[in-house]
Amino acid sequence: MQRLGDILKSCPVVPDELQLSTSSSWPLRQSAAQERWKEARPYHLKCLLDTEAVGQELCCRCSQAAVIRCTDCLPADWLLESLPSEWFCEDCDVFEHRSRPLHNRDSIVGGFLKAIPPSTVFKKTEADKYTTLEQACLLPTKRPPRPCSCDTTNITVSAGRAVIMISMKGRYDLHLPLYTCNDCTIQWTLDVQDLIRSGYWPASSHSQTIYKLDVFSSFEDLKITSPGFSRQAFAKWLEQRTLRFGRTCQKAVEAAARLSELKEELNCSEEMALQWTADVQQWAICDITDTITDPAQQTLQQSIEGLFVSIHQRKHSLYRQNDSNKLRHRLRQKLAEEKRRLFDQIRRYNTLAAEDKIDEALIEGRLAGLGSGTEAQIWPWDANISEGRFQLALQYYKAALGPCSSLLGNVDEEEECDCSPDVSEEEEEEEEEADDKTP
């Protein structure tokens, strides 16, 4: 023991912090990794912010001022270049993405990056400003077999029927390619077999909506790894992806553009348009309430319309949003209860109404899905329109429109002469001569 003690005293003393190596201690390795990541995180964040900065970028094809950034694009000689070419001017953008409508692009016209749909392109005006235009984007597919034996190169491809394509990137509003042979002028497009061969699956027999096959495989993988992931959550995720890449509310944007053109044509300000909207809404409410003398009838009307809409919504979502038979059984019981309440209130209304009564057979047919487009009005109170209030509103809008009020003044003249505004005077004379010649 004395000898062992002498040997230990002769050895150099090791510090406490060096007694445990990071390679042999898991807590020390974790702590060291966190410290290194804490030091590197500010630099990583700075690099991320630099990618979103907008400067004086140049087009990768023609070296002009760039207006579009597409991170999905790679150069043709990508093996020789280390970085992708992502900046394009307005002309090169159209040329490059004509056959790549599924790329997600960003515009830098306003000084910052903004996601835009594939149908939006830019054009430079004479005042060196950019304006947006809309173009029809074709669905990327394999070329279908041609029905003629003409030259294979003499073919023109144009935009055909509009379709909705759903992929893992969200929704795309595209068009089916329409092929035209310039020799024999025959036209053909894709059928269901061509769509499936191109990697799509039709959502209906008319193929108005199609899915890319990776949607189904991705959803299957998600259900395997996470069985609690629902279809509604997956659909909302796809919708969020659509919003993220700027493909949203295309019809609303077009309607807003038409409204702006109409306001410029009529020289109408934003305040006047809002006032007109409020006047029309107030006119409709007053027109309905003026025709009702009994408050009980008005309450029944609102309750009947609400029950009718509720029954339609429940029947629409009975098989679309519910997978359980027990839940469907409870929903059917709820539907039957609301249907009994609806017809009870209809009978109460018919006892109070003196003349305009609700046709129970018509309501029963509408709930069953029969004759949905034969009649626009199913409630008798929708047909009660005050002619005096209509004339009062017409006079108000004539005064507001000023010189453009002649368009409204022609309405009464056209109704009196029983002619269409689209028919010219020469066509009317030809029709009169034809009537005189007929015995």
**Per residue in 67-125, pLDDT tens?**
888 888 865 444 444 444 788 888 888 888 888 888 888 888 878 888 888 888 888 88
Phi/psi for 340 (5° steps) reads -65, -40
Instruction: With beta carbons less than 8 A apart as the criterion, state whether 371 and 361 touch.
Output: no
The pLDDT > 70 percentage for the chain reads 69
Residue 150 vs residues 145, 147, 178: alpha-carbon distances, Å: 12, 9, 17
Dihedral angle at the C-alpha atoms of 22, 25, 30, 32, nearest 10 degrees? -20
Mean pLDDT of the chain: 75
3-class state of residue 117 by DSSP: coil
pTM exceeding the 0.85 threshold for the entire prediction: no
Classify each residue of 20-38 as buried b or exposed e, where b means 16 or more C-beta atoms within 10 Å of its C-beta.
Answer: eeeeeeeeeeeeeeeeeee
**Assigned domain for 51 exists:** no
The pLDDT > 90 percentage for the chain reads 11
Kindly report the number of other CB atoms within 10 A of residue 276's CB atom.
Answer: 15
Instruction: With beta carbons less than 8 A apart as the criterion, state whether 153 and 145 touch.
Output: no
Phi/psi for 171 (5° steps) reads -100, 140
**Assigned domain for 343 exists:** yes
**Assigned domain for 362 exists:** yes
Task: Give the span between the Cα atoms of 87 and 67, in whole angstroms.
Answer: 7
pLDDT digits (tens, 9 = 90+) for 273-324: 777 766 665 555 554 444 545 667 777 887 888 888 778 777 777 766 666 6
**Assigned domain for 254 exists:** no
User: In which domain, by residue range, is 322 found?
Assistant: 292-382
Q: What is the pLDDT of residue 167?
A: 92
Q: Which of 349, 366, 353 is nearest to 308 (CA)?
A: 366
**Assigned domain for 402 exists:** no
Instruction: With beta carbons less than 8 A apart as the criterion, state whether 134 and 119 touch.
Output: yes
Model confidence at 392, in pLDDT bands (50, 70, 90)?
low
Last residue of a domain, one of 134, 152, 176: 134
Which tokens go with 379? Answer: 């409630």
3-class state of residue 59 by DSSP: coil
What end-to-end distance do the CA atoms of the chain give, in Å?
A: 143
Last residue of a domain, one of 134, 150, 168: 134
Instruction: Label residue 359 left, alpha or beta by phi (over 0 means left) and psi (-120 to 50 means alpha).
Output: beta
Last residue of a domain, one of 360, 382, 404: 382
**Assigned domain for 430 exists:** no
Task: Give the span between the Cα atoms of 255 and 239, in whole angstroms.
Answer: 21
**Assigned domain for 83 exists:** yes
Q: Which of 406, 421, 411 is nearest to 391 (CA)?
A: 411
Number of domains in the chain: 2
Q: What is the identity of the amino acid at 394?
A: L
**Assigned domain for 225 exists:** no
Instruction: With beta carbons less than 8 A apart as the criterion, state whether 232 and 321 touch.
Output: yes
Q: Which of 189, 97, 95, 180 is nearest to 143 (CA)?
A: 189
